[in-house]
Structures are given as C-alpha cells and as structure tokens.
A and B are shown apart, each in its own frame.
Chain A
C-alpha cells in the first residue's frame, strides 16, 4: 500500500545522486530489500513505472534483491538464515531467537549510468 511513497522516495534519492554525473542516463536502479521490510516486490515495480513516468528516470529498470532474515541465536551462538518469516527459530538448534541481524533492509544499493563518450579532440591536420 505504501509502495508508491517508497517509489517516490527512490526517485527523489536517485535523481539527487545522479545529478553528480551530468548528461548521464540512469539505466538501472538496484535495491536491497529485507524479507521483513513489508514491501511487496510486484507492487513496488508497478509503482516504479508510475513514479518514473515523465521523469528523467523514465525507462530505468528496477532490480530488487530480496535478503532473507538472518538471526543470531543466543543459545548456540550461530548466525543463521531462516526460511520464510513465519517462525523466528534458530535453524541449527531450534531455539527461539530474537536477535535480527538481517531482514529489515530497505536501501538503494547502486545505480547503473549510461554516459556519453567523451568527445574526442579534433584531429590535428598536418600542414603540408
């Protein structure tokens, strides 16, 4: 439901960062999104189209990299990835684990820019 607000925040942030590269076109925006970030991938992609339409980012691809939840288990000391988000138990020893080490990320990892080639200097004509 809030994917449109998120898409708008990404557009704002990427536009700001891309301003440092005048003349460049943003080809791709890559995100890192935790499995617990409450963001629906399809919905965000749909909103991305809407948010970029008519902006300098129009046509830029959005690549979403979903990160699984990683828990730190106090009982056995393991840092382990859990399958899904339905049970916060250490996959190694089965104990409940509250210490979340990964899974809430909501960040722009990188952007891919396409830049015009630097203009080659005019060839110096040799005087005959």
Chain B
C-alpha cells in the first residue's frame, strides 16, 4: 500500500456559494436590493418586516418577501396582509435557508418579477448559528436582537453578528420594563462588529423606523 496526499483547498459550501453568487448577479442586474434578516426565534422579525413592507408600499416602493420557517405558513399570511407579494419556504426541519431554496422559490413565483421590485426581503429561519454560513446572494445581512433577549447576545453568537451589515434592536417600547441596558447592548454589538449601523426600533410604536427606511432608500439607490 502507498499513501498519497491530495491537496484540495475546496470550500465545503462551494455549491451554495456558487449558487449564491449567481443569485447576486441576478439581483444586481434586476436592480433589486436584497436583504437577509436573521435572528433568534421570537425576536420579532415578522412584526418588523410587516411594518417595513407596509410603509414601503405606502411610499410607492415595490417590495416582496420570502419567509423561511420549519413548518406552517403563518408568517407568510401575516406578511401578506401588507399587500406585498409573499412566499413561504418550509424547510421541514432544516435550521437555515440556503441558496438553492431561494432559487427554487424565485422560479415560478408568478406574481413577482425581480426587475419590477425595489426590495426583496428574505426572513430566515429563527436561528442565530446556522444561517451565518449560508450566503443567499443578499447584499445586506441584517442581524436582529430584541430587548428581551439579553445584551450579551452578540457575544454569545459572534459568528452571526460579525457577518452582519446592519443590526436592528427590536421591541424598544418595552426596553424599560425589561431592564434593558441600552449602552451595554450597543457596546457589545460594536465590539463584535465594529462600525456597524444599528437601528433601535419598535414595530409597535414605529419608533426608529424612519431611520431604517432612510437607510433602505439610501442602500437601494444605484451607486
């Protein structure tokens, strides 16, 4: 028997990365800004997105959403109430969305043409670990954190927070009764992802949403 060592230097998620790169090209040439929203279950991604879709539509922008969950289409039905086209992706046990699921659900989505959209939101499966490894072709990855979760969440999940382009703190309306230490949370986010844009919001009162919408508009503008 002889032994041979073969250098491969091959990305383990190469297939996903290639698919994601293809999606990113499609999104860029269609002129649609794609955002991937990631958080724990219960942070309020859906409420935040409901508000965002409704306000964007009210301002004349075309927005759509793909929403990932293990089971049920409850979130898609909630989001569809905004009037925006929404498609549910059920992963049936898989803890994250991948580029193939996005590609599959974009194809054959009758009511949506990418070229007609300004924004496409992808609401990932509630999970702060696994989605960080899977590129979906998005331009902006948004990490969300609610005031009920503890200020040290970014320190516990550095892989995800460090990969984010923007951070959103949700449920600011109940920050005080929760004893939320705002300064500490901001410091922790910044310690893991220095210089990241942070939005402090409440989908209930609308607080902080103007800054978020301004950011979206600024990012959507062709450079």
Contact = CB atoms under 8 A, between A and B. Distances in A.
Given A9-B12, A108-B12, A39 B133 contact: yes
A11 to B, nearest CB: 10
Contacts, number: 112
Interface string B102-138: 0000000000000000000000000101101100000
B130 A2 contact: yes
Residues of A contacting B: mostly: mixed
B31 interface: no
Interface centre among B159, B191, B193 (most CB of A within 10 A): B159
A53 interface: no
B133 to A, nearest CB: 6
Contact of A113 (B3, B130, B158): B3
Contacts of B130: 1-2, 38
Contact of A2 (B9, B129, B155): B129
Q: How large is the interface on B (under 10, 10 to 19, 20 to 34, 35 or more residues)?
A: 35 or more
A114 B158 contact: no
B192 interface: yes
For the complex of A and B, the 8 pairs showing the least CB-CB separation, nearest first, are: A96-B194, A38-B159, A2-B130, A98-B194, A85-B158, A1-B95, A113-B4, A108-B8
Interface of B: 1-15, 94-96, 127, 129-130, 132-133, 155, 158-160, 162-163, 190-195
